[in-house]
């Protein structure tokens, strides 16, 4: 089974207010939430009595039952139904030598969904079910469920609800940040970076307040390395530009304006090529 990395295919920025329907790593999606993976070309809805999550650093999207022991692991696959059938019958290895295989011959459900009950060499006391649905752009979605036996049928209905409502759209490789609006994103946010040596650590913290003022404590070079700016500073700030890059201008009291280039890529923010972490400001009114 050729499994693509949904963390990349469902790429978006976790703290961004831009394109809110795109799946964001680390965000919990309750029942009824819309999911959109533009690069894989998939739209779906979190089923009733389930929560969805794309764990940071993981390769699969996870649905967890809210009222029983049940989990659905959602993967993308570029194989055909015939190849999937053979693999499911032969068995697919997951994790540390856990063999998962179909019970009997996989069958077609609802005209366009490949479906099979599963058996596993993992811990006893669970039952499994798997379904696959393919779109017109050479991408299939595979949903694999594990459940406690007493809630198996109810949880399988949740999986089937998810697969029945899943639709395919034309994938897009367009930069997801072409319309990224930096100004609302940065207001009331804090930019932080760190540097470490054998004896201590240094950090730069810049609080960008919603009223257009800033407070900063610059303990390391990097953000404004050309200006040699260090220490506690305050003043006003602004950004100029829509898209993956922008100019951040700090007008420092008794000094005047200085600027640096901000860039967003792969869910991360960089200033002059250096990674900065973004969180809620703590020194704004």
Predicted confidence (pLDDT) at residue 226 exceeds the cutoff of 70:
no
Confidence class of residue 48 from pLDDT cuts 50, 70 and 90?
A: very high
Closest CA to 144 of 154, 156, 135, 153: 156
CA 222: distance to chain centroid? 28
Q: Does residue 213 contact residue 187 with C-beta atoms inside 8 Å? A: no
Helix H, strand E, coil C: the string for 225-258 is CCCCCCEEEEEEEEEECECCEEEEEEEECCCEEE
- For residue 255, the model assigns a pLDDT of 87
Predicted confidence (pLDDT) at residue 121 exceeds the cutoff of 80:
no
| H helix runs in 101-201, sequence order | 152-165, 182-186
User: What average pLDDT does the segment 181-195 reach?
Assistant: 87
Q: Model-level pTM greater than 0.75?
A: no
Q: Does residue 268 contact residue 278 with C-beta atoms inside 8 Å? A: no
Place of tokens 């260090």: 230
- For residue 162, the model assigns a pLDDT of 96
Predicted confidence (pLDDT) at residue 163 exceeds the cutoff of 90:
yes
The alpha carbons of the chain give a radius of gyration, in whole angstroms, of 24
Lowest model confidence (mean pLDDT) among 134-143, 169-178, 218-227: 218-227
The DSSP element (H or E) to which 214 belongs, if any, is: strand 213-218
- For residue 3, the model assigns a pLDDT of 35
**From CA 42, how far away is CA 261, in angstroms rounded?**
34
* Percent share of the chain, pLDDT over 70: 79
User: What average pLDDT does the segment 151-156 reach?
Assistant: 96
Using the Cα atoms of residue 217, residue 14, residue 274 and residue 197 in order, give the sign of their dihedral: positive
Q: Does residue 205 contact residue 193 with C-beta atoms inside 8 Å? A: no
The tokens describing 120, both together, are 């596993």
- For residue 273, the model assigns a pLDDT of 82
Predicted confidence (pLDDT) at residue 221 exceeds the cutoff of 80:
no
Q: Supply the mean pLDDT for the chain.
A: 81
Q: Does residue 21 contact residue 10 with C-beta atoms inside 8 Å? A: no
Predicted confidence (pLDDT) at residue 113 exceeds the cutoff of 60:
yes
- For residue 10, the model assigns a pLDDT of 35
Burial 167-202 (b: 16+ CB within 10 A, else e): ebeebeeeebbeebbbeebbbebbbebeeeeeeeee
Looking only at the bridges linking them, the beta strands covering 28-29 and 213-218 are unpaired
Predicted confidence (pLDDT) at residue 42 exceeds the cutoff of 60:
yes
The tokens describing 227, both together, are 């200006």
Bridge partners of residue 263, in order along the sequence: 245, 270
Confidence class of residue 12 from pLDDT cuts 50, 70 and 90?
A: very low
């Amino acid at each position: 089974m050729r499994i693509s990395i949904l963390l990349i295919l469902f790429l978006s920025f976790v703290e961004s207010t831009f394109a809110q329907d795109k799946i964001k790593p680390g965000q919990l999606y309750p029942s009824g939430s819309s999911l959109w993976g533009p690069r894989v070309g998939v739209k779906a809805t979190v089923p009733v009595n389930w929560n969805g999550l794309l764990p940071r650093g993981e390769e699969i999207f996870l649905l967890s039952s809210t009222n029983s022991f049940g989990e659905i692991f959602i993967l993308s696959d570029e194989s055909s139904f015939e190849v999937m059938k053979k693999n499911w019958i032969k068995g697919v290895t997951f994790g540390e030598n856990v063999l998962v295989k179909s019970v009997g011959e996989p069958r077609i459900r609802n005209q366009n969904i490949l479906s099979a009950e599963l058996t596993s060499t993992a811990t006893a006391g669970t039952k499994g079910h798997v379904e696959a649905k393919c779109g017109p752009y050479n991408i299939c979605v595979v949903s694999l469920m594990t459940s406690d036996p007493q809630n198996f049928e109810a949880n399988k209905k949740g999986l089937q609800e998810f697969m029945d409502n899943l639709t395919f759209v034309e994938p897009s490789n367009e930069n997801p940040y072409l319309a990224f609006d930096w100004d609302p994103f940065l207001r009331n946010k804090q930019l932080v970076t760190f540097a470490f040596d054998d004896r201590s650590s240094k950090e730069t913290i810049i609080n960008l307040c919603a009223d257009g003022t800033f407070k900063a404590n610059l303990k390391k070079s990097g953000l404004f390395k050309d200006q040699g700016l260090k220490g506690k500073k305050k003043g006003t700030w602004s950004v100029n530009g829509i898209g993956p890059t922008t100019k951040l201008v700090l007008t420092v009291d008794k000094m005047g304006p200085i600027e640096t280039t901000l860039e967003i890529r792969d869910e991360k923010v960089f200033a002059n090529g250096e990674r900065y972490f973004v969180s809620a400001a703590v020194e704004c009114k």
